[in-house]
Amino acid sequence: MKISVSTPSRICLFGEHQDYLNLEVISSAINLRFKAEGSRRDDRIIHVRLSGENINREEIIDLDERIVYENNRDYIKSAINVLMRNGYKLETGFDIFMDSDIPIGKGMCSSTTMVVVFIKVLLELIDHEDKDNPEKIALLGFEAEVTEFNEPGGLMDHYSSAYGGLLHLIFNKEKTVVEPLKTEIPGCFILFDSLEDKQTTKVLASAKYPVLEALEELKEYGINSIRDFIDNEDNLICLEKLSQDKLVKVKANIDNYKILKEAEKMFNTEVDSVKLGELLRRHHRNLRDGLEISTPKIEEILMTAYENGALGGKINGSGGGGCCYVYAYEKDSKKILDKVCAKGYWGVILKQDSGVRVDK
């Protein structure tokens, strides 16, 4: 008997580059999904075939042999190792076919969704109770993708994919708090691919480590988090202690945290479309000018969309290329899509979607 599962990609509305600072994120799952179909074998071989954009490969893993990584992103093998290390019993082999309609290497968490859906299908095939636990699946995915290879990513993608819907995620050091947001967002989001590949880990490191180093330097002044500048504005004077490069990045993160709190307040009442667009534009300016993760092509896409009615937009994911999205009224969405795509870019109108699930 075969079982089919899938998990969604996401857009980050607010809090980009803040999950690894133990701050907050507002994200939405979208209807671009990574799918997996699995069935049990009579031997101890896990045979995985992957298909999709720029993916066409297979892996054969013998559970009776030590699983050795061939590279630092060997996520299929790391997921199996993490599951077995955490006590999940893989007593037989499996045939697993995976495919995706998510843009690869474009800031759309394609690697995270691959890991999450692979863990989901394995838990379903061994009929473990954690198969219906989105938090457990998210944490196992993070361990397999980030912790196992000491990469600089955060938890946003794993939680967003596993839970689905519109989420407010609070990344405390002790535990991630998941708050589903029930507010309906009027209008729609339109995703665009800049057709530029990016080096996720390199961009993450250039945006992440200077801020972490700055916070470490400011500890002697009682600063431990970006929140400290919001809770007590007298702390802003401590920014004078930082080098110019770190100062710019910290200031961008301070304003982005303020933007998220404004958006959170709005999402808990009623969404004002114009205000939402303004907050997205402001968030993107901080990502572009402060963290320096935008590109000329991303800017061309956003400007073209604004000229044709888009209310706001931002880069999506770690940046340095990849995808961006805009927010617009439904009536303007087709025109915006056509005008941007006429310049040679790929785009799609998005819908909000559910989290990791069994499809059949």
- pLDDT digits (tens), the chain, 360 positions: 899 999 999 999 999 999 888 899 999 999 999 999 999 999 999 999 998 777 788 999 999 999 999 988 899 999 999 999 999 999 999 999 999 999 887 888 999 999 999 999 999 999 999 999 999 999 999 999 999 999 877 899 999 999 999 999 999 888 899 999 998 999 999 999 999 988 666 787 788 889 999 999 999 999 999 999 999 999 999 999 999 999 999 999 999 999 999 999 999 999 999 999 999 999 999 999 999 999 999 999 999 999 999 999 999 988 899 999 999 999 999 999 999 999 999 999 999 999 999 998
**According to the model, what pLDDT value does residue 266 have?**
96
Q: Quick count: other Cβ atoms within 10 Å of Cβ 242?
A: 19
Residue ranges, CATH 3.30.70.890, the chain: 188-349
According to DSSP, the β-strands at 3-14 and 357-358 are antiparallel
Token pair belonging to 251: 């200031």
**Inter-residue contact 46 to 81 (CB < 8 Å):** no
Residue ranges, CATH 3.30.230.10, the chain: 3-184
**According to the model, what pLDDT value does residue 106 have?**
83
**According to the model, what pLDDT value does residue 197 have?**
82
Half-sphere exposure of 311 (CA within 13 A, CB side): 20
Q: Where are the beta strands (DSSP E) in the chain?
A: 3-14, 24-40, 45-52, 55-62, 94-100, 166-171, 176-180, 188-193, 312-315, 323-328, 346-349, 357-358
User: Is the torsion defined by CA of 306, 309, 311, 313 positive or negative?
Assistant: negative
Q: Tell me which DSSP letter residue 183 carries.
A: P
Residue in the structure block whose two tokens are 């507010």 = 183
Give the separation between CA 107 and CA 319, rounded to whole angstroms.
7
**According to the model, what pLDDT value does residue 19 have?**
86
Residue count of the chain = 360
Q: Closest Cα to residue 158, out of 144, 172, 148? A: 144
Strand 323-328's sheet: what is its strand order? 312-315, 323-328, 188-193, 346-349
Could you please state the CATH topology (level 3) that the domain comprising 188-349 is classified under. Alpha-Beta Plaits (3.30.70)
> What is the CATH code of the structural domain delimited by 3-184?
3.30.230.10
Give the separation between CA 272 and CA 156, rounded to whole angstroms.
25
Token pair belonging to 25: 């994120």
Q: Is 335 exposed, middle or buried (0-12, 13-18, 19+ CB in 10 A)?
A: middle
Q: Closest Cα to residue 243, out of 286, 268, 214, 275? A: 214
Which amino acid does the sequence have at 114?
Answer: M
**Inter-residue contact 93 to 48 (CB < 8 Å):** no
Give the separation between CA 18 and CA 8, rounded to whole angstroms.
21
Which amino acid does the sequence have at 182?
Answer: K
> Residue 166, Cα to own-chain centre: how many angstroms?
13
According to DSSP, the β-strands at 346-349 and 166-171 are unpaired
Give the separation between CA 303 and CA 255, rounded to whole angstroms.
22
> Residue 206, Cα to own-chain centre: how many angstroms?
17
Q: Is 302 exposed, middle or buried (0-12, 13-18, 19+ CB in 10 A)?
A: buried
Give the separation between CA 341 and CA 301, rounded to whole angstroms.
9
**Inter-residue contact 45 to 32 (CB < 8 Å):** no
Give the separation between CA 208 and CA 258, rounded to whole angstroms.
18
33: helix, strand or coil: strand
What pTM was estimated for this model as a whole?
0.92
